[in-house]
Amino acid sequence: MVPPSWVLVAGSIDSWLADVNRLEARSTGLAEPLADLHFRLEQIHPFLDGNGRAGRLLLNLILVRLGYPPAIIYKRQRAEYLRALRRADLGDCGSLGELVARAILDNLYKFIVPAIAGPVRLVPLAALATDEISANALRVAAGRGRLQATRGADGEWRSSRAWVEEYARSRYRRDPGE
């Protein structure tokens, strides 16, 4: 990628900001315009260093300003993120939009839904995953009947924080000293 000449950066940023301010908070196709804006800022490359971090920070500022949770893109997603940026460079922001949308949804499930659900309300298993027990492990436990959970008509397993804590206490743990 070759950034624009420094004389074009200020005008490009002004244009970018105008487009940011035109975003509608509750538009149905928000992920792709967000991805496009994020990509365009990366193309402008306004800083000598830290453009990726600054771009992701600004993406989250825009999201929060629009009433959405931040989109955390983890280090393990770096290759997927860079592939999506390369596809955006070819004119297809769909992959980047999907990555952003999934990051927003993951944060909803990981932080917001459990916080407002309380300990006994049924929520999707993805919202109950922790660093110790992944969503996939919870699905397996629910499927085997080891985790108290219900499967909805949509095929998605739901459980409560209290049930997951009970399951976590009952799990076989090998003593590291053995």
Catalytic residues: 45
Site of tokens 């990509």: 39
Beta-bridged to residue 124, according to DSSP, are 158
Largest pairwise CA distance in the chain: 66
Q: Strand ranges (DSSP E) for 33-108?
A: none
**Helix 51-65, helix 31-44: angle, nearest 10:** 150
Dist. CA 10–CA 12, nearest whole Å: 5
Question: In angstroms, how far is CA 99 from the centroid of its own chain?
Answer: 7
Q: What angle do CA 73, 61, 100 make, to 5 degrees?
A: 35
The residues facing 123 across adjacent strands are: 159
